Amino acid sequence: MRVVIAGGHGKIALELERLIAARGGSATALVRNPDHFSDVWTAGAVPVHCDLEAADVAAVTEYLTGADAAVFAAGAGPGSGPDRKGSVDRDAAALFAAAAEQAGVRRFVQISSMGIDKADDPSVSPEFAVYLKAKGAAEEDLRARDLDWTILRPGALTDEQATGRVELAEKVTRGSIPRADVAAVVLALLDRPETVGKTLEVISGDAPV
């Protein structure tokens, strides 16, 4: 299986690339900063220079052509302003999905976020509300596309070691999860056609990935 990963130098993406390589697959990582290529190579993936905030659909389609699956794992990250949350978490996701359609790559997993339904809650900080709304808009865009999509909403992300055990369902209580376990779930979802068309939440739990 060849997988193209948007946000290919992110922490979840690097973990996913290691898992794909370990089982004999191949991954192409779209990376904004060429200085990060060495980390991607070390993870076992092939980096390509692609800034999704500046690229057009045709360029991204070329990278996706011939792939078996696409994973959107990009994000503007903490400390980014509202403009970048819109241009990355919303607009880049839509661009990547449109390119997958053009390339004929049907299997598509999008990493989103828990709490999207709480974006207008007064207890949510304005910065986080912008992030949740951007992720929510990206989800709505994906649902309308002719793709075999699955949306994964992780809980609070940590850098702890993988446990290999999660709680995965359409609705779970709020909690945290190591990024490495999120990557393992993404890889498992790619192998499970019965998850197509579903929006799933995931936190650490008792069920083996």
Question: In whole angstroms, what is the distance from residue 55 CA to residue 53 CA?
Answer: 6
Question: In whole angstroms, what is the distance from residue 71 CA to residue 69 CA?
Answer: 7
Q: What is the pLDDT of residue 80?
A: 67
Helical H segments across the chain, by residue range: 11-22, 37-43, 57-64, 82-84, 93-103, 126-143, 179-190
For 57-60, which contacts have Cβ atoms below 8 Å and span 24 or more sequence positions?
A: 57/95, 57/98, 57/99, 57/102, 58/102, 60/30, 60/95, 60/96, 60/99
pTM over 0.85? The answer is: yes
First to last CA, the chain: 19
Q: What is the pLDDT of residue 61?
A: 98
Q: What does the DSSP 8-state code read for residue 36?
A: G
Torsion of CA 74, 80, 82, 85, to 10 degrees: 0
Using DSSP, state whether 107 is helix, strand or coil.
strand
Could you read off the pLDDT tens digit of each residue along the chain, which spans 209 residues? Answer: 999 999 999 999 999 999 999 999 999 999 999 999 999 999 999 999 999 999 999 999 999 999 999 999 998 776 666 777 788 889 999 999 999 999 999 999 999 999 998 888 888 888 888 889 999 999 999 999 999 999 999 999 999 999 999 999 999 999 999 999 999 999 999 999 999 999 999 999 999 99
